Amino acid sequence: MHTDHSIGHRLKELREWRGLTQTVLADLAGLSRSHVTNIENGRRAVDKRSVLEALAAALRVAPSELAGQPIPRSDQLSSEAHAGIVAVSAALSDYELGQPSDVAVRPWDSVLAEIRKMNTEILPRCDYIALGLMVPKLIADLHASYNDDPKNRRQALEGMIYAYRAARSLTYFQGVQGLPQLAAHHARRAAEELDEPHWLGLATWIKILNTANGSSRKRNYDLTLATLNTLEPHMDSPEVAQIYGMLHLHGALTRATQKNRPETDGHLDEAAAVAHRLPDDVNPFAGLQFGRTNVGIWRIGLGVEMGDGAKVAETARHVHIESMPSLERQGMFYADLGRGLACDKRTRPQAVAALAKAEKIAPQRMQGNPFFRETVIDLVRKAKHDSVGRELRGMAYRMGVTA
């Protein structure tokens, strides 16, 4: 059975539901009519956040309505990951800081070991199935430790921030509405209790990762700037420096979606300067992996967003991706490189190779990425019946889409 899960198909459905012509929608979104027509007909992919947000705003829907999340589950792994969200949702709803916990206190060493495993093994490889099994129980254990183990109360608060960050990642990349924001709220409560700059900065980072549309993006950009200002007096702390750099990277993303290259480059330059002052290429605070390599990875995605296309390959040559321990970051490097290379017919074979590598490295992460999916669908439509086409059709099949 032919099922079209492309953004173009959803765009046509939502436009007709709103009773708009292609011309009116194009005017509202600030695009040409031919651009809208080509998206709906599958001749042009929506591979940039700015276009997705403009169309969603014109249709008065959330970008996720166009992106198509939650994505139809086409395999057992995705279904199992999605099933874990039920338990995560219950944990996010059931536990409030300071309220009595319904579980007994576990030895702190065993709780700490789980936190470390989550941060260093499970989250970096985007294992959403394992997160769905681990995070709900970990949240319960951390609240029990906070309430009934005074000696480890501060560590329990730090652990909560990590657990809620993991819950945000799981629910956000599985396309669940509302829960990422609730996880960010809980992380903020724990950070306020700790009342230290790097934890408060990390809580802001977790919150702004949930940016979904133009209006919230502006508010979160203002929050980013305000947080950067509060962190500047504490830059002698390596932890503060790392979250400061990451916030600049997110500021660059915000400006890139608005096609503001000078401010995008300004944020990137600030992040790069901080990265070069830090002792290591990849730094450990909160699993952010901030450093020179991560800044390079972000340059690729930002270049694609700014319309640099296949030119991002030149930037990619200077990124030492092998030094990045996070499979999630490695996967996004190859995914964004593939998206850029896909813009030029001459480099489409290299694009397919990069996209295939991204899927191999972080399959669950790629299945939840609408821009990766759109690029694959667009390339499938353009590919001839050769080995390249077979590779693409295999990726499309594993994502549960057909073109």
The boundaries of the domain holding residue 361 are 320-403
Does 338 map to a domain?
yes
User: For 254-273, what is each residue's pLDDT tens digit?
Assistant: 999 888 999 999 999 999 99
**Confidence (pLDDT) at 71:** 40
Write the CATH number for 20. Answer: 1.10.260.40
Q: Are residues 268 and 240 in the same domain?
A: yes
Are 79 and 65 within one domain? no
Q: Are 60 and 5 found together in one domain? A: yes
206 shares its domain with 188: no
Structural domain includes residue 84: yes
Position 312 in a domain: no
Tell whether 110 and 26 lie within a shared domain.
no
At residue 305, the pLDDT reads 94
- The share of the chain scoring above pLDDT 90, in percent, equals 62
Q: Give the count of domains, the chain.
A: 4
HEC string for the chain = CCCCCCHHHHHHHHHHHHCCCHHHHHHHHCCCHHHHHHHHCCCCCCCCHHHHHHHHHHHCCCHHHHHCCCCCCCCHHHHHHHHHHHHHHHHHHHCCCCCCCCCCCCCHHHHHHHHHHHHHHHCCCCCHHHHHHHHHHHHHHHHHHHHHCHHHHHHHHHHHHHHHHHHHHHHHHCCCCCHHHHHHHHHHHHHHHHCCHHHHHHHHHHHHCCCCCHHHHHHHHHHHHHHHHHHHHHCCCHHHHHHHHHHHHHHHHHHHHCCCHHHHHHHHHHHHHHHHHCCCCCCCHHHCCCCHHHHHHHHHHHHHHCCCHHHHHHHHCCCCHHHCCCHHHHHHHHHHHHHHHCCCHHHHHHHHHHHHHHHHHCHHHHHCCHHHHHHHHHHHHHCCCCHHHHHHHHHHHHCCCCC
Q: Are residues 95 and 115 in the same domain?
A: yes
Give the domain-ending residue among 20, 37, 71: 71
Kindly state whether residue 313 falls inside one of the protein's structural domains. Answer: no
The pLDDT tens digits for 275-308 are 999 989 999 899 899 999 999 999 999 999 999 9
Residues 189 and 90 in one domain: yes
Query: Residue 82: pLDDT band by 50, 70, 90 thresholds?
Result: low
State pTM to two decimals: 0.83
Residues 38 and 148 in one domain: no
Does residue 266 share a domain with residue 216? yes
Residue 397 lies in a domain: yes
Q: Does 221 map to a domain? A: yes
The residue out of 139, 164, 194 marking a domain boundary is 194
Confidence of residue 102 (pLDDT cuts 50, 70, 90): confident
Do 91 and 2 lie in a common domain?
no
